[in-house]
Amino acid sequence: MSDATPLDGFETTLFSALGTERTVYRRGTGPGVLVMHEIPGITPQVADFARRVADEGFSVAVPVLFGTPGKPLSNGYLAGQMIRACISREFHVLASHRSSPITDWLRELARTLHEEVGGPGIGAIGMCLTGNFALSLMMEPCLLAPVLSQPSLPFGVSAEKRAALHVTPEELANAKARSASGTTILGMRFSNDPLCRAERFKALRETFGAGFEGIEIDSSPGNAHGIAALAHSVVTTDLVDEAGHPTRVALDRVLTLFRERLLSA
């Protein structure tokens, strides 16, 4: 039996900023890409995604934000980490016009990652609870390739919150200016996702216009690819790694964006 673990091949490092120290898993060389994992943590599927990005020629950093690194997804694990995130002071899960405090620490990590590895800039992808975070991180000029995968905050307990973007007015104004000057913001979701609703992508399109590239994958009943109605995690848990499958097309677009913005320059 193999003793391999989901995070084999990653270097375990520590990063301290703003009075907080966290473990960061690192892999690869080249321009930096910050992978902000989803609930419940760095699952084997998240590790596989990060490994794939690194193998494309990038220096990947995956900070541990919650959960147990490498632990497989289960309903109990998911529910427990969701509760912890909801009561954490670092996540404001119902904030419409504020960002979660943990984004300040992530901005420090993004800046340091770029200083360490060089290159024209870095990419960043958030997923689920961290899905909107790349918008906040655009305050760092080094972030050239922001990706929002199933951005789920704030939780959609009202029509206003289903459309909100979980950023401060200052962060939103900065993201709009950067988008208007040529920084593409890529977003992905499943059409029936109950956590990332259509209203949020409508708001993103209205806010950023041509600067937002939205990929919405059909998960309606009877869809052509048999995608489950509750599919949520585009490039991790619900990825079908087959050429031509909509989730694989979305993954390929993420990798292409990173190459275009970080390697072509």
Q: State the pairing for strand pair 185-190/212-217.
A: parallel
Indicate whether 1 belongs to any domain: no
CB-based burial, 126-153: b 16+ in 10 Å, e otherwise: bbbbbbbbbbbbbbbebbbbbbbbbbbb
Based on its alpha-carbon atoms, the radius of gyration of the chain, rounded to whole angstroms, reads 17
Asked, for residue 32, whether it belongs to a domain, the answer is: yes
| Tokens 């892999």 sit on residue | 27
143-149 vs 185-190, strand pairing mode: parallel
Prediction pTM value: 0.96
With respect to residue 6, please indicate whether it lies within any of the assigned structural domains. no
Task: Identify whether the C-beta of residue 65 lies closer than 8 Å to the C-beta of residue 103.
Answer: no
> Per residue of the chain (265 residues), what is the pLDDT tens digit?
355 689 999 999 999 999 999 999 999 999 999 999 999 999 999 999 999 999 999 999 999 999 999 999 999 999 999 999 999 999 999 999 999 999 999 999 999 999 999 999 999 999 999 999 999 999 999 999 999 999 999 999 999 999 999 999 999 999 999 999 999 999 999 999 999 999 999 999 999 999 999 999 999 999 999 999 999 999 999 999 999 999 999 999 999 999 999 998 5
Q: What is the pLDDT of residues 28-71, one digit of tens each?
A: 999 999 999 999 999 999 999 999 999 999 999 999 999 999 99
Query: Per the structure, how many domains does the chain have?
Result: 1
Task: Please give the residue range of the domain that contains residue 36.
Answer: 11-263
Length of the chain counted residue by residue: 265
Q: Is residue 3 part of a domain?
A: no
CATH number at residue 108: 3.40.50.1820
Give the whole-angstrom CA distance, residue 86 versus residue 245.
34
Look at residue 221 and tell me if it is in a domain: yes
